[in-house]
């Protein structure tokens, strides 16, 4: 996890699922955005990241918190095509909007993933109501911590003034052994 505070780069997405219109972060100003970056063949995403994003989607009011999936394919590109993703979203009953991250021009890492400096999948990014990255979790993060972080950002948004966030006492280095998918080997 990095507790950070910089403008969230725009989503570089050519194709969207589960939404009639393309989504921009600008259009979500005023809401807390939970951005779940995943790959459909990443076991940690399927077992942990996506179900957690679905719980967030089901738990928080839609006018306060927006959940967005981002398919950040950085390996097995021939397998994880948009056609395959569409079937995956259907079979796993993912109901929130999912965008396909635009392929990189110089390597396997797609453009949004690169702009956010994500280390692999799953990565959960929390963006505040003013469009700033506030937390970026690679691997697993507990529901208790995530619920608290989202609620804190919602409170900030409601106060329309910046309050200090409590320090996160439980963050550890990513421990996603087998089932997380790290970027590093590709960057080396």
Q: Give contact residues for a copy of itself (rule: CB under 8 A).
A: 41-43, 46-47, 55-56, 58-61, 64, 75-76, 78-81, 83-84, 86-88, 90-93, 142-152, 154-155, 158-159, 163-164, 166-167, 169-170, 178, 181
Q: How far is the CB of 181 from a copy of itself (least distance, A)?
A: 8
Q: Token pair of 86, please?
A: 């569409």
Residue closer to a copy of itself, measured from CB, 12 or 39: 39
**HEC string for 18-41:** CCCCCCCCHHHCCCEEEEEEECCC
Q: How far is the CB of 119 from a copy of itself (least distance, A)?
A: 17
Strand partners, 38: 71
The answer to whether the bond into 122 is cis (omega within 30° of 0) is: yes
Q: How far is the CB of 32 from a copy of itself (least distance, A)?
A: 11
Q: Token pair of 149, please?
A: 């972080």
Report yes or no: 65 and 154 within 8 Å, Cβ to Cβ: yes
Residue closer to a copy of itself, measured from CB, 11 or 74: 74
Q: Token pair of 158, please?
A: 């409601």
Report yes or no: 99 and 89 within 8 Å, Cβ to Cβ: no
Q: How far is the CB of 81 from a copy of itself (least distance, A)?
A: 8
Residue closer to a copy of itself, measured from CB, 105 or 160: 160
Residue closer to a copy of itself, measured from CB, 83 or 173: 83
């Amino acid at each position: 996890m990095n507790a950070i505070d910089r403008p969230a780069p725009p989503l570089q997405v050519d194709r969207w699922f589960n939404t009639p219109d393309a989504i921009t972060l600008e259009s979500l100003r005023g809401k807390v955005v939970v951005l779940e970056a995943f790959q459909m063949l990443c076991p940690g995403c399927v077992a942990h990241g996506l179900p957690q994003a679905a719980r967030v989607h089901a738990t928080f009011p839609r006018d306060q918190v927006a959940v967005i999936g981002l398919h950040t394919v950085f390996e097995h590109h021939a397998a994880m095509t948009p056609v395959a993703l569409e079937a995956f979203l259907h079979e796993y009953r993912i109901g929130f909007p999912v965008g396909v991250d635009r392929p990189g021009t110089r390597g396997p890492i797609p453009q949004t993933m690169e702009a956010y400096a994500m280390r692999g999948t799953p990565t959960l990014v929390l963006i505040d109501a003013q469009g700033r990255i506030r937390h970026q979790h690679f691997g697993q993060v507990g529901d208790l911590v995530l619920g608290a972080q989202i609620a804190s950002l919602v409170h900030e948004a409601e106060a329309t003034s910046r309050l200090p966030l409590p320090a996160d006492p439980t963050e550890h280095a990513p421990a996603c052994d087998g089932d997380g998918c790290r970027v590093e080997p590709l960057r080396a």
